[in-house]
Copies of this chain bind each other. A is one copy, B any other.
């Protein structure tokens, strides 16, 4: 992360953290520990940071941007909580997943409470466009998650389906995080379109890089690798791998992939091949095309200090190694 980006993030984090802590304090006592657990699991606060930057970019100076920004992290955290249950993930960001520490019931309800409370915080701004943006983001995210599960352990997935899935499960909330800030700052229609375009493309790239990093050696990322192979998610590196196989090999791979029969050893073998053939790097080049679109959109926006920070975020997403 560049110094200029680090400096601005460090400047914004305390107010974002305060807004989040305040929101969590007003949740029912019994779900507060779960909410804190997921919110303190090491997230970079990318989404609320984008909301703050997107408002400041258009000259918005009020501090009420922080609670609004916090709703984006709350929605993200709610999604992670339901995800953890869904994925039966054992760890999340290297820490135990919430539902291995807390009971399933309370985890689901903590997600519902975070979601509902964020929804109400947004409604309190009394601006229908903010509520519409929030509700659209929640719906798109839920639909993306559902689509991802629908297409698990399947090989009939076209690249368009993958794009739809990542648009829903990841990119739309990043888009909404930018839109929220611009809406609050009363940006005009053209500015709104460019800001949301920036957010959408950044979000697509973010997930593409994430899916490439799934094949990085674990000693590099600190996360278990090749999870998507075992979970039956046909992400671009895996799609490229599958396409390069000879027909007989491909049929054998499909059989194991679709039946969930690829254990960790098999997944690591696939991962090593993907790295050797450069399919993870190739996926990052797809991310680059989205980042280029984000950059073009950004350059239509006011030449404020925040625009430079938003450009540093593009580079950060492009270069991240964990």
Q: What residues make up the interface of A, taking CB atoms closer than 8 Å to B?
A: 27-31, 82, 85-86, 104-106, 108-110, 112-113, 115-117, 119-120, 122-124, 126-128, 131-132, 134-136, 138-139, 141-143, 145-147, 149-150
Contacts and interface: CB of A to CB of B under 8 A. Distances in A.
B142 A120 contact: no
Contact of A138 (B31, B106, B108, B119): B119
A196 B168 CA distance: 37
A117 B139 contact: yes
Contact of A128 (B85, B116, B127): B127
A233 to B, nearest CB: 14
- Chain A interface main SS type: helix
B132 A113 contact: no
A123 B143 CA distance: 18
Contacts of A27: 143
A235 to B, nearest CB: 19
Nearest to A117: B139
B109 A146 contact: yes
Copies of this chain, count:
2
B120 A136 contact: yes
Contacts of A113: 139, 142-143, 146
A110 B82 CA distance: 12
A35 B116 CA distance: 20
Contacts of A147: 28, 30
A126 B128 contact: yes
Given A31-B146, A106-B146, A115-B142, 18 more contacts: A27-B143, A82-B109, A85-B108, A109-B142, A109-B149, A113-B142, A115-B138, A116-B141, A116-B142, A117-B139, A119-B119, A119-B135, A120-B138, A123-B132, A124-B132, A128-B128, A128-B131, A131-B131
A282 to B, nearest CB: 30
Contact of A145 (B109, B128, B141): B109
A135 to B, nearest CB: 4
B145 A116 contact: no
A139 B126 contact: no
Contact of A108 (B86, B110, B127): B86
Contacts of A82: 108-109, 112
5 contacts: A27-B143, A106-B146, A113-B142, A115-B115, A116-B141
A134 B142 CA distance: 18
B135 A120 contact: yes
A99 to B, nearest CB: 11
B139 A116 contact: yes
A231 B106 CA distance: 16
Contacts of A85: 104-105, 108
